[in-house]
Amino acid sequence: MAGESAEDAKLTGLSKHFNGSTMRGRANVAKATYAVLGLVIAYNVIKPKKK
């Protein structure tokens, strides 16, 4: 495929998107980390306060 290296063609599943050997994979890991942290913070802000 155009734009894919030979190494990317071997990867399947989540390892194709979250690998540590390519810039795209590392960027996806960072984005997922920020998303999880944001969700945890949002949950703690929005959840009802206990009396």
Alpha carbons 36 and 39: distance in angstroms, whole number: 5
Chain mean position to CA 44: 21
At 34 the pLDDT is 98
Cα 4 from Cα 10, distance rounded (Å): 11
| pLDDT value for 1 | 46
Q: What pLDDT digit, counting tens, does each position of 12-39 carry?
A: 888 888 888 889 989 999 999 999 999 9
Provide the 8-state DSSP code for 11.
-
Q: What per-residue confidence (pLDDT) applies to 9?
A: 64
DSSP 8-state secondary structure symbol assigned to residue 48: P
